[in-house]
Amino acid sequence: MDICYCGKQKNEERLACPRCFELYREDLKRRGDKPSLIAWVKEKALKKLTDLGALETDSQTTLERELMEQKDELKNLRNELSEKVSLALEQQLAGAGQLRQDEVEALKEDIRKELWNKMGGNRLFAERKNLERDIKEKVVPIREALREVERIAKENSSIDQLSKAVEAASQKKD
């Protein structure tokens, strides 16, 4: 099974799920123009991307932009955390004498965990995972549908060019 641009399951061989196909049929009855299923899916998928915050100048959705910001924030947190852990470790070990490496590493890990929690690392990480899940469920199917539409359009274009060439060749023979 595959996912339709609307987020519902569809067969891999189909461009749209049965529900979207019915919506397409109903839309054909209402509209004066009669778009192909490919054009209709492209129109609906692009509208969904726009609804998710994609712009003409920036094809990224709001979710994707938020994810990039979240990744940057986590990267900055990790960099800041590394410095703070080193400083805290130095302060706590000042005058402690000779310690085994495993003792130092255990204390360093304890400090890192404590600072990670205080600095909101768990919250940021959970938010990032939620954004990734939302993108996978909401944005990826739309992008895949648009790629499929482009692939089909290219195939149809190639077929059209071939039939025109065959037609032109047969007219030359006549």
pLDDT at 141: 94
Give the three-class secondary structure for 109. Answer: helix
> Which pLDDT value is given to residue 162?
66
Which residues partner with 3 through β-bridges? 9
Rounded Cα gap, residues 128 and 134, in angstroms? 10
Give residues with Cβ within 8 angstroms of 5, minimum separation 6.
16, 20, 41, 44, 45, 48, 141, 142, 144, 145, 146
Is 71 in contact with 50 (CB distance < 8 Å)? no
Q: What is the mean pLDDT of each run of 10 residues along the chain (174 residues)?
A: 86 92 92 89 94 90 96 95 92 85 92 95 95 95 93 81 69 65
Give the C-alpha separation, 141 to 2, whole Å: 9
Task: Please report which helix (H) or strand (E) contains residue 2, including its range.
Answer: strand 2-3
Note whether 141 and 5 are within 8 A (CB). yes
Report the phi/psi class of residue 7: left, alpha or beta, with left for phi > 0 and alpha for psi in -120 to 50: left
Structure confidence at residue 26 (pLDDT): 92
One-letter amino acid at 170 equals S
Specify whether the CB–CB gap between 73 and 159 falls below 8 A.
no
